[in-house]
A and B are shown apart, each in its own frame.
Chain A
Amino acid sequence: MRSTLPLLDEAEIVVVGGGPAGAIAAFTLASAGHDVVIIDRQTFPRDKACGDGLTSSAVSFLRELGLEQALDGALRVEAARLCVDWKEREVSSMRTRWQGDWSEPCTVPRRRFDHALIRLACAAGTRLMQGHVNSPLREGGHVIGVELNQRGARGVVTGRHLLAADGATSRLRTEIVGRQPLRAASSYAVRTYAVTDEPLQPIFDIYVPVADSHAGYGWVFPVSERVANVGIGYVTARGLPRPRPITSLLDAFLAGLRRHRGPELGSLEVVGSGSGAPLGINFSAERCQQDGVIFAGDAARTCDPITGEGISQAMRGAHACALELHRAIRRRGSPVGIGDAIARSDLRAGQDSAMIARLGHELLRRRSPDQPDSTGIRGEPTSLFSVARAMLTAELDRPSLTETPAGDMATKLGCAGAMRALDERLRDQLRSKFILCSELVHREACAGTGPIGALMVFATHVACGKDPSEPVLDAALAVELLRVYPRVLGLVTPATDNQANANNAIAIMIGDYALSGATGAAAGIGASFSGMLGEAVEASSEGIALLARDPLWQGDPIRRYIERTRLTDGTSLALAARIGAGLASGRDALDSSLCIAGESMGMATRICEDLMALTLQDPVTGQEPWRALEESSFRLPVILAVEEDHRVASLLREKKERIEWESVLDVIRSGAGLRRASEICGRYAAEARELALESMGDGNPVTELFELPRRCLVPLGLASPVEPRSRSARRADALRLAS
C-alpha cells in the first residue's frame, strides 16, 4: 500500500532514533559507503534522562571505533563505592576490574554525548532529519518506510532497509511486533541534577536498598566538579506491591543523602526537575527483526537486566546490527541472525542474561507475599549467583587461558600454541546462544592456577617428543572441563530459600554444560577415553558428595579433604597424564608412576589454589577471599585452623555478613594453617616431580611443570622448602592404583 503523502526523503537505509544506538548504526553504515538518513523527533543538542555515566566497556568501544571525540570534556571516574543502609562499604573489586587494558569509566552529560555522536555520524555522511514517526509504511508484509510529522506537515520517508533505534517505548516496535508481552519484570530509572558546595570526588556511589521499592539502587556521581547526577532505578513486576511514584522515591532518596551523607556530598541543591524513563530489558534474540525492520538498542531491549545500564550494549549491539546489514547488502540478500549478532556483541545482551535476571526476579516475586515490607535484597547473594551477577554488572577483565600461571608455564614448555588453540576452542563452544555459560566455564578454567589439566596433557605429550595434534586438543578440553565440573557443582548449597534455589539452578546448569562439553570432546578421541572420562566423572561426583555429606567440624575432616581432593583434582590430573602420554605413544599409558605423579600434582594444585583463594582476590573470577569461607567448601588451611583452634569452627558456623567473615579470615591467617597447608602442598608437588623423573628420565623439561605450585605461592610469601612424601606412603598409593 503506497502512501499518498508527499515523499520527504528516500535512502538506502532509514534509521529511526538518534540516540547512541541509532547514531552508531548510522555511523557504521555511512562509513561503509551506504546512503543513510536518521530521523529523530527532537533537534540536537537535546537532553535525555539517565545514562550520563559511561562504563569502561562503552569507553573502550568508542576507542576501538576511533570515536574518542565523543568523550571530549568527560570526567573520569576512579572508583565505585557501595553503600548499604547509608553506611559506606567500599567494593575493592570494582577498582581492580577497572584496571588493566580496560578504559576507565567516565561521565559525560547525555546532552553533549548524544550530540557528539550524531555529529560524528553526519560527518561520515549520514543525513539527519527532524520528525515524529507515526507509523511504519508497509508494502505487502514488508515495511518500506515510515510516515512522519514534520513541523505540522505529514510525509513519508522510504528506504530499502529500516533500523529502529527509537528506545524502550519504541513506537515502531509496538506497531510491528505488537505490545510487549506482560513479562515478569520491568525497570524504570529517574534522575536529577544537584549542585553542591563541596567539590565532588571522582567516585561512582551506589546506594542499596532503595526505600519502598523491591530491587534497585540509588546513585550519585559527578558530571562536573560541583554538579552531581543523582538518581534511582528499580525493577517492578506484576504480583509485587506497586511502588510509590518514582518522583517521590527520588525525593526520599535525596532527603536520605542529605541526612546521612551530608558531610561528604555537601548541600545537594536540586536544579531543574527530575526526568525518568522506562528501560528496555528482556532481550530476546528472536525478537530483533521482523517484517524487514531491525531493532537495536533499547528497542531491542538490550539493557542490562540487573543494573539497567544500557549505553555500551546499545552501541555495541547497533554496531553489530549495522555490520550484519552491510554484509547482507553486499551479498544482495536480507540480513539474518541479527539477534545472534547482538547477543555476541556483549555478554550482557546474551540470552542467558535474561534468564539470570528472571531468576533474580523470581527471588523477589516469591518472597513478597510473606514479606510485604521487604525493601530489597539484603545480605550477600550466594557465591555463584553473585559471580554471574558480577559478570553481568561489572567489567571483569576477559581472561585468556594463556595469561594464567599454567599458561605461562605452557610457554616455557613449548606448548603456547596449543594453549592458544584451546582457548579459542573453549570460547567457541555454544557461545552464540549461551554466552554467559560459556564465559563462566571459561572463567573457571582460568581461575586459580589456570588450566593445569590441559597443561598436564600437553606437557606429557610433548615430553614424549610429539607436537599437540587435534585429538590432543580434544583431550585437553575434556580434562579441563572435567576439572571445572566439581568446582561448579560444589557450589550447590543445601539451603532451600529462593536465593539458594536460583544459585543451585545456575550451578547445575553450568556444571552440566561443562560435562556435556567434556563428553563431546572425549567422543572425538574414542570409546576407551570416553570410558575413562566416565569413571573420572563418577569419582569427581563421589568427591563432591564427600564434601557435602558432613560439615567441616565432624569426623576426620583432614582425611575427608585428602580423599575428596584425590577423587576430584587428583583423578582429573591422573587422567590428563595418562591420556597425554597415551596419545603420544599410541597405546594406553597406564604407567602407574606417571599416573600417581598426575594425581599428586592434582592434590598439590588444589591445595595451592586453596591458599590463593584465602589470600588473594582472584583476578579472573573476581572472587574475594572471604567468599572462600562463606562457600563452606573444604579449604585445607581452614580445616587446619579448626584443628588448631576449635573456636574457629564456631565462628564459621554462624551465618554472617561480609565484614564478619573478614575478621574470621584474619583469625585463620594469624594461625599456622596457611604455613602447614603450604608444606603439604610442597610435599605433593615434590613427590609428583620425583615420580615423573622416574617415569620420563632426568633432564626432561616437563619436570618443570611441577614447579607451578611453588611459583604461585612465592608471591604470597608462602612457599616453603619441601621434601617429597615418604616412600611407604607412595608405595601404598601405587598399590591402591594398581588394584
Chain B
Amino acid sequence: MELASLDAGLRTDALADVWGYAISGPSKETRSRLLRTAEAVARGGRGEPDPGVEIAAAAVEMFHLASLPHDDVMDGSNIRRGVASLPARYGAPLAAAAGGLFFGRASTLFAKCGADAVAIAAETTERMCHGQMLELRDRYDTGRTQARCVDAIKGKTAGMFWLAAKLGAMLGDADGVTRSRLGQFGLGLGVGFQIIDDLLDVAGNERLTGKPRGTDLRNGNYTLPVIYALEENPKLEELLLDDRGIEAVMRLIFETDAIARAAADARDWIYEAKAEVLGLPAASGLLAMADTELSRLASVQT
C-alpha cells in the first residue's frame, strides 16, 4: 500500500492540506522495505506475502512520518528531504498537530495487524520517546559520551528499524529465534544508518543530503564525529559553545581521526547486523539493504 493511496478520511479540513503535503513528500521508504524484506526472509522465500504486510508497511511509514514534524519543531529545522519542513511551511502548532494525526493513524493501522503488532509498536513508541528525551537532555552538553549518544540513537532511530524487521518476521511467521535475529538486524542497521546520517551532517555533500551541513552542531546535538573530535582536541569545546565557532569546528574535525572512527563504528554496527542474518535462507535481500547503507559512507568526505 502506497502512503499516497491511503484514504485521508479526515473529520475536518483543519489538516487536509498538511496531510497532502506530508504524504506526497519524497521518501526512501527504507522502513517499509525493511519490513517487506524481513517478511520474505521469515518465509524462507517461499509462498506469497502475508496480506497483512501491506497494512503493516503503511503503518511503519506512517509511524516514521509522525516522528518528523515533532523532530523538526524541536530542532528548528526548516528543511527536510530538500523541501520545506512542516513547521517551516505551516508553523509549529499545525506541524505538532500533524505529528499527532500521523501517530494516531499509525496506531490505527498497527491495531489492524493484531495484538502482537500493537504490543511491539507500543514498546517502540516508548523507546523513541525515551531516546528523544535522552537527546534533548544532552543538548549543548560537551561532556556527552559515545555510550550516551548511542543510547539516544537506539531509541530515536534504531527502534523503528527494529520494529519494522520484527514485525516483518512476525507476519512471515518466523520462529522465536529468527524473530529475535531479524529484530537485531533491524536494530544494528538502524544504529549504523543514523551514525552515517550524523557523519553526513558534518562531512556530507549538501546537494545529496538536501540539508545544510552542521545543522546538528548548531542545535547543540553533539554526535559521534563531534564527540570523538572533542576527545582528541579539547580546544574544540570552546569553539562549539559559540555560534561563530561552528565553521571552525567543521574544519578542525577533519584534522582528527573522528570521521574515520565514527565511520568505523557505523561499519561495525552494520557488519554485526549482517552477521545476525547470514545463516538464514533467502537473506540476500537484507544483506543488500545493509550494503546499500554501507555505500552511503562513500559520500562521506575524509
Binding site for B on A (CB under 8 A): 181-184, 237-239, 284, 286, 351-352, 354-355, 358-359, 361-362, 365-366, 369, 430, 433-434, 437, 485, 489, 492-494, 496, 500-501, 504-505, 507-509, 511-513, 515-517, 519-520, 522-523, 526-528, 530-531, 533-549, 563, 567
Is B104 close to A, CB under 8 A?
yes
Separation of A249 and B91 alpha carbons in the complex (Å): 41
Closest to A350 in B: B137
Considering the complex, give the chain A residue whose CB is closest to the CB of B105: A538
Task: Name B121-163 residues within 8 Å CB distance of A.
Answer: 121-123, 125-126, 128-130, 132-133, 136-137, 139-143, 148
In the bound complex, residues from chain A placing their C-beta under 8 Å from that of B106 are: 534
Query: Which of A237, A542, A544, A545 is the most central at the interface, judged by chain B CB atoms within 10 Å of its CB?
Result: A545
Q: Are A541 and B129 in contact (CB-based, < 8 A)?
A: no
Contacts of A434 in B (CB 8 A): 133
> Residues of A contacting B24 with CB < 8 Å?
none
Chain B at the A interface: mostly helix, strand, loop or mixed? helix
- Report Cα–Cα, A443/B237, bound state, in Å: 38
Which one, B69-77, B185-193, B203-211, B289-297, is touching chain A?
B69-77
Would A548 and B108 count as touching, CB distance under 8 A? no
Bitwise interface map of B from 69 to 97 toward A, beta carbon under 8 Å scored 1, else 0: 01001101000000000000001111011
Residues of A within 8 A of B143 (CB): 181, 183, 284
Q: Given A354-B137, A434-B133, are A528 and B111 also a contact pair (CB < 8 Å)?
A: yes
Do A359 and B139 contact each other (CB < 8 Å), given the known contacts A492-B96, A504-B92, A537-B107?
yes
Taken together as a complex, chains A and B put the C-alpha atoms of A640 and B125 apart, in Å, by: 40
Q: Given A505-B136, A512-B70, A541-B97: A181 and B130 within 8 A (CB)?
A: no
Q: Does B48 contact A (CB under 8 A)?
A: no
- Set of chain A residues within 8 Å of B101, measured between Cβ atoms: 537-538, 541-542, 545
Cross-chain contact A542 with B137 (CB below 8 angstroms): no
Q: Which residues of A contact B121 (CB under 8 A)?
A: 519, 523
Closest 9 CB pairs of A and B: A534-B107, A531-B111, A537-B104, A541-B100, A548-B93, A538-B104, A181-B143, A534-B108, A523-B122
* Cβ–Cβ contact B92 & A544, under 8 A: no
Q: Answer whether A522 and B122 are a contact pair too, CB < 8 Å, given A505-B74, A512-B132.
A: yes
Kindly provide the distance from the CB of B98 to the nearest chain A CB, expressed in whole angstroms.
Answer: 7
Cross-chain contact of B112 among A352, A437, A531 (Cβ < 8 A): A531
Write the nearest CB–CB distance from A552 to chain B, whole angstroms: 14
B100 touches A352 (CB 8 A): no
Q: List 27 A-B contacts (CB under 8 A).
A: A182-B238, A184-B140, A238-B241, A358-B139, A362-B220, A434-B133, A492-B96, A493-B93, A505-B73, A519-B121, A520-B125, A522-B118, A523-B119, A531-B112, A533-B107, A534-B104, A538-B108, A539-B104, A542-B15, A543-B14, A544-B97, A545-B12, A545-B93, A545-B94, A545-B97, A547-B93, A548-B93
Cβ B137 vs Cβ A351 within 8 A: yes
8 A-B pairs besides A182-B237, A509-B132, A534-B110 with CB distance below 8 A are A361-B140, A512-B129, A516-B128, A527-B114, A530-B107, A531-B108, A540-B100, A544-B100
Q: Is the CB of A504 within 8 A of B12?
A: no
Task: Say yes or no: is B175 at the interface (Cβ < 8 Å to chain A).
Answer: no
Q: How far is the CA of A517 from the CA of B122 in the complex (A)?
A: 9
- In the complex formed, the residue of A with least CB distance to B143 is A181
Given contacts A362-B140, A519-B125, A549-B94, contact A513 B220 (CB under 8 A): no
* Most A Cβ at <10 Å: residue of B115, B118, B123, B241: B118
Q: Is B103 positioned at the interface, with any CB of A under 8 Å from its CB?
A: yes
Provide the residues of chain B in CB contact with A538, threshold 8 Å.
11, 100-101, 104-105, 108
Contacting residues, chain B, for A237 (C-beta < 8 A): 241
User: Is the C-beta of B177 less than 8 angstroms from some C-beta in chain A?
Assistant: no
By a CB distance below 8 angstroms, the chain A residues around B98 are 541, 545
Cα separation A505 to B136 with both chains bound (whole Å): 9
In the complex the two chains form, is B14's CB within 8 Å of A549's CB? yes
Contact A508 B130 (CB under 8 A): no
Verify if B298 is at the interface (C-beta below 8 Å from A): no
Pair A515/B100 contact, Cβ less than 8 Å = yes
A361 to B104, CA, bound (A): 34
A366 to B111, CA, bound (A): 44
Complex contact A534–B97 (CB within 8 A) = no
* B94→A184 contact, CB < 8 A: no
State A527–B238 Cα separation when bound (angstroms): 51
Contact with A548, one of B73, B91, B114 (Cβ below 8 angstroms): B91
Given A494-B93, A531-B112 in contact, is the A519-B136 Cβ separation under 8 Å?
no
CB distance from B184 to the nearest CB of A (A): 22
Nearest CB on B from A335, distance (A): 21
| A358 and B141 in contact, given A430-B130, A508-B70 (Cβ under 8 angstroms) | yes
Bound CA–CA A352/B132 (angstroms): 12
Question: Which A residues are CB-close (under 8 A) to B115?
Answer: 523, 526-527
Q: Are A358 and B140 in contact (CB under 8 A)?
A: yes
Q: Which residue of B98, B123, B128, B129 has the most chain A CB atoms within 10 A of its CB atom?
A: B129
Given contacts A284-B143, A504-B74, contact A542 B12 (CB under 8 A): yes
From B78, which residue of chain A is reached at the shortest CB distance? A496
The answer, yes or no, to whether B7 is at the interface (CB within 8 Å) is no
B10 interface contact, C-beta 8 A? yes
Contacts of A352 in B (CB 8 A): 133, 136-137
A531 touches B126 (CB 8 A): no
State how many angstroms separate the Cβ of A630 from the closest Cβ of chain B: 15
Let me know if B243 is at the binding interface, CB within 8 A: yes
Q: How far is the CB of B29 from chain A (nearest CB, A)?
A: 21
Q: Which residues of A contact B148 (CB under 8 A)?
A: 286
B260 within 8 A of A: no
A437: chain B residues at CB < 8 Å are: 133
Cα-based distance from A384 to B55 in the complex (angstroms)? 37
User: When chains A and B are docked, how far (Å) is the Cα of A361 from the Cα of B141?
Assistant: 12
A533 to B112, CA, bound (A): 13
The answer to whether B100 touches A492 (Cβ under 8 A) is no
The chain A residue sitting closest to B119, CB to CB, is A523
Bound form: Cα–Cα A505–B115 in Å: 32
Establish whether residues B15 and A545, one from each chain, have CB atoms under 8 Å apart when the complex forms.
yes
Given contacts A489-B96, A489-B97, A492-B93, contact A519 B132 (CB under 8 A): no
- CB within 8 Å for A511 and B238 given contacts A354-B137, A531-B112: no
Cβ–Cβ < 8 Å partners of A512 in chain B: 70, 129, 132
Give the CA-CA distance A258 to B104 in the complex, in Å: 59
* Closest chain A residue, CB of each to CB of B142: A181
Q: Which residue of B lies closest to A540 (CB)?
A: B100
A528-B104 Cα distance, complex, nearest whole Å: 14
Known: A182-B241, A355-B137. A563 touches B12 (CB 8 A): yes
The minimal Cβ–Cβ distance linking A272 to chain B, given in whole angstroms, is 36
Please tell me if the beta carbons of A516 and B104 are within 8 angstroms of each other in the complex.
Answer: no
The answer to whether A494 and B91 have CB atoms under 8 Å apart is: yes
Contacts of B112 in A (CB 8 A): 527, 531
**Nearest chain B CB to A522 CB, angstrom units:** 7
Distance of A496 Cα from B74 Cα, bound (Å): 11
Known: A430-B130, A512-B129, A542-B12. A537 touches B74 (CB 8 A): no
> For residue B14, which residues in chain A have a CB less than 8 angstroms away from its CB?
542-543, 545-546, 549
For the complex, what is the distance from the CA of A189 to the CA of B120, rounded to whole Å?
50
A530–B11 Cα gap in the complex (Å)?
19
B160 to chain A, nearest CB (A): 13
Measured CA separation A195–B121 after assembly (Å):
65
Report chain A residues within 8 Å CB of B76: 496, 501
Q: Give A181 to B140 CA distance when docked, in angstroms.
A: 11
Q: Does B18 contact A (CB under 8 A)?
A: yes
Is A355 in contact with B136, judged by CB distance below 8 angstroms?
yes
CB-nearest residue of chain B relative to A514?
B129
B39 to chain A, nearest CB (A): 19
Contacts of A358 in B (CB 8 A): 139-141, 220
Distance between B215 CB and nearest chain A CB, rounded to angstroms: 14
CA distance A516 to B107 in the complex (A): 11
Cross-chain contact B241 with A239 (CB below 8 angstroms): yes
Establish whether residues A542 and B97, one from each chain, have CB atoms under 8 Å apart when the complex forms.
yes
Q: Is the CB of A183 within 8 A of B103?
A: no
Residues of B within 8 A of A563 (CB): 12
